[in-house]
């Protein structure tokens, strides 16, 4: 029998004695037991969350102001926001903004400039740039002849 069930049982027994003062004290104890049980549950959830974050922290690699997660097979996942993970223990993916080279976190809304991150997130932009440079070079070479 748990603490809440014991408190309920004590409330029932005290009701039979017909002592108002004792009945009030037992009711107070019952509500305090319920409150403590709820606090304990929240602390257990927090411990689980911190354990998971600590375990994950050991697998995270910080590079270019972002976290990357590497699995046993060497595959990389990310980039993740360092602020969200360090402060809130949340793994949130950074995304490329429309304004190159701005990178933004959809969770905490932090925005910062990072060419390496932007090009990692938007390899198509870098490929388009190379194609454009190549076509300009071609055009210049054609004009020289």
Q: Which is nearer to Zn ion, 8 or 83 (CB)?
A: 83
Least separation in angstroms between CB 63 and Zn ion: 16
Q: Which one of 108, 112, 119, 125 is in contact with Zn ion (CB under 5 A)?
A: 108
What distance, in Å, lies between the first and last C-alpha atoms of the chain? 94
Contact predicate 30/7, CB 8 Å: yes
Choose among 88, 105, 84, 106: nearest CA to 49.
88
Q: Which one of 22, 107, 112, 126 is in contact with Zn ion (CB under 5 A)?
A: 107
Contact predicate 82/65, CB 8 Å: yes
Where in 32-91 is the site for Zn ion (CB under 5 A)?
81, 83-84
Q: Which is nearer to Zn ion, 8 or 63 (CB)?
A: 63
């Amino acid at each position: 029998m748990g603490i809440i069930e014991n408190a309920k049982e004590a409330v029932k027994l005290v009701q039979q004695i017909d002592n108002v003062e004792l009945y009030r004290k037992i009711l107070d104890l019952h509500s305090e037991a319920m409150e403590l049980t709820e606090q304990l549950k929240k602390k257990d959830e927090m411990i689980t969350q911190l354990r998971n974050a600590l375990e994950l922290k050991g697998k995270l690699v910080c590079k270019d102001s972002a976290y990357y997660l590497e699995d046993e097979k060497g595959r990389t996942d990310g980039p993740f926001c360092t602020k969200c993970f360090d402060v809130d223990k949340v793994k949130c993916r950074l995304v490329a903004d429309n304004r190159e080279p701005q990178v933004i976190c959809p969770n905490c809304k932090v925005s910062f400039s990072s060419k390496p991150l932007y090009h990692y997130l938007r390899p198509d932009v870098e490929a388009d740039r190379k194609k454009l440079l190549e076509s300009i070079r071609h055009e210049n070479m054609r004009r020289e002849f």
